[in-house]
Amino acid sequence: MDENQSGQPGGKHPSPYIRLKRFHFIMLVFFLVFATAAITTLALAFGGEKAAEVGMKPHQEFEKLYEAYDKLEKNYYQDVNKEKLVNGAINGMIDSLDDPYSDYMDKKEANQFHESVSSSFEGIGAEIQEEKGMIKVVSPIKGSPAEKAGLRPNDRILAVDGKSLEGMSSSEAVLLIRGEKGTKVKLKVQPAGAKEPMEMTLVRDEIPIETVYAEINDEKVAHIQITSFSEHTAAELKDAIKDMEAKGMTSMVLDVRQNPGGLLDQAIEITDMFVPEGKILFQVEDNNGKREKMVSDNKEKISVPVVVLVDSGSASASEIFAAAMKESAGVPIIGEKTFGKGTVQTAEDFKDGSNMKFTTAKWLTPSGNWIHKKGIKPDIPVKLPDYANLSYLSPDNELKLDSLSEEVKTAEKMLEALGYPPGKVDGFFDGETEKAVKDFQKKSNIEQTGVLSGETTVQLMTDLREKIQENDTQKQKAIDTLKNEQTSSAS
């Protein structure tokens, strides 16, 4: 677990540990083995110091709990695991909160959690969270098996290798999804908006926690993508900006799409680079309605024009960053509405190595808005092309002449988007669809069988992903906005 720095209103960030009563902030990140990767990956949490030793307190309401424990220990027909009973009791209390961001992790799960902020891990690379007894994808990690397979925000993972995830916590699901590089994991997935679930087999890989990717176009507009807020993200961003400046950068697109969050101190340090000194970064409100304000104290600011890209996979720390850029720095936000996580978690370790995190407060935008379950609306709404939202096709399935299914309809839409007319897009694999597949196979140097499966399916999804990147309408709108801004300034 990484500790995050916090600060007092108007002051500097004093310590990597923040007293619980003063809102020590810890950004917890769960990476699903996507997994974070698929992950539970970084969920925004603000936490405190390790739990102090707690002695037994004479709470009368505990008598029923003690009585139940004693009866089970003495009278159950088999020997009971005392540790498992205690863990189950804690789990029960946490589950009764009906809060997807509160969780209890036993020692094994806690160890996995702590590894989530290391330099790399092995899994499928997706962030997940538990919601109403189901496991939902928050965001895949850039370049991960999860992203390549087509997992998207709000997809639900129903089962792993035939084992149902219903009723499991995100921590429990991560243990099933993660695994050694090169091993396969079969997921049963309910794509967002789809009627029927599908199965997909992913090969786990090493998921490096490289978080900043920068490039510059011929017009000297830099595109800098921040995929998560990890231990070295601020330093990576500063290095990337220096590199872009050396190449003549005149403006910057900061891209936090599909960024599930991360370490709060990194988000603060990065936001400080853009928000004017003395302006509010975000606020925290406790259960008594008392608010604390986090204020920018960095005097060195980025001077070139900036816009920020967001989407439904931008969550937690990404939303803190985006809200501050929008409300305190006046930076345009472009794209789609963000995920909507506006609560604060405290994380505490027990002496046996287990861990409990629970919601203790709300975080608010600089203007005092609570974006929980609402998200942040962009100043300039822009959607990606419809084909960017097509669901995954399983290479294990065979789609051929006379097949009739939703998968066939998805395949027809993919072929159409790539310039291979499949005839009527109706979910029926007819002669025109077969010809389109053969034409695609010929262009891709694949045996022309007219059957969509295996290598053909993988190549089809790869080509579509490249087309989406080449026709990134959100990124292009960001570049056009910067051009217009610079033109207006010049005139």
Distance CA 350, CA 72 (A): 24
Q: Output the pLDDT for position 109.
A: 79
In a shared domain, residues 239 and 293 = yes
In a shared domain, residues 246 and 303 = yes
Q: Reduced to 3 DSSP states, what percent helix, strand and coil does the chain have, rounded to the nearest 5? A: 30, 20, 45
In a shared domain, residues 283 and 372 = yes
* Residue at 477 is within a domain: no
Q: pLDDT at residue 18 above 50?
A: no
In a shared domain, residues 264 and 323 = yes
Identified catalytic residue from 188, 326, 341, 477: 341
Q: pLDDT at residue 23 above 50?
A: no
Distance CA 35, CA 478 (A): 30
* Residue at 311 is within a domain: yes
The pLDDT tens digits for 398-457 are 999 999 999 999 999 999 999 999 999 999 999 999 999 999 999 999 999 999 999 999
* Residue at 369 is within a domain: yes
In a shared domain, residues 337 and 397 = no
Q: pLDDT at residue 196 above 70?
A: yes
The pLDDT tens digits for 39-98 are 333 233 333 333 333 444 567 888 999 999 999 999 999 999 999 999 999 999 999 999
Last residue of a domain, one of 350, 381, 412: 381
Q: How confident is the model at residue 115 (pLDDT cuts 50, 70, 90)?
A: low
User: Is 199 a catalytic site residue?
Assistant: no
Distance CA 491, CA 489 (A): 5
172 three-class SS: helix
Identified catalytic residue from 316, 318, 354, 391: 316
DSSP annotation string for 261-323: -B-HHHHHHHHHTTSPTTSEEEEEE-TTS-EEEEE--------S-EEEEE-TT--THHHHHHH
* Residue at 56 is within a domain: no
In a shared domain, residues 306 and 443 = no
* Residue at 83 is within a domain: no
Cβ proximity of 479 and 334 under 8 Å: no
Cβ proximity of 312 and 338 under 8 Å: yes
Average pLDDT of 12-36? 30
Q: pLDDT at residue 35 above 80?
A: no
Strands 221-226 and 212-216: antiparallel
What CATH number does the domain containing 298 carry?
3.90.226.10
In a shared domain, residues 253 and 293 = yes
Segments forming the whole domain that contains residue 219: 212-341+363-381
Q: Output the pLDDT for position 24.
A: 34
Mean pLDDT of the chain: 85
Cβ proximity of 192 and 223 under 8 Å: no
Identified catalytic residue from 3, 319, 327, 348: 327
In a shared domain, residues 336 and 230 = yes
In a shared domain, residues 235 and 220 = yes
Q: Output the pLDDT for position 39.
A: 30
Q: Is the dihedral of CA 482, 377, 310, 9 positive or negative?
A: positive
Distance CA 211, CA 232 (A): 8
Q: Output the pLDDT for position 154.
A: 87
* Residue at 281 is within a domain: yes
Calculate the CA 220 to chain-centre distance.
30
- CB count, 10 Å around CB of 282? 26
Number of domains in the chain: 2
* Residue at 284 is within a domain: yes
In a shared domain, residues 298 and 403 = no
Strands 184-190 and 198-203: antiparallel
In a shared domain, residues 412 and 371 = no
In a shared domain, residues 246 and 376 = yes
What CATH number does the domain containing 464 carry?
1.10.101.10
User: Is 316 a catalytic site residue?
Assistant: yes
User: Is 327 a catalytic site residue?
Assistant: yes
What's the distance, Cα to Cα, between the start and end of the chain in Å? Answer: 51
* Residue at 459 is within a domain: yes
In 3D space, the residue among 336, 435, 426 whose CA is nearest the CA of residue 388 turns out to be 336
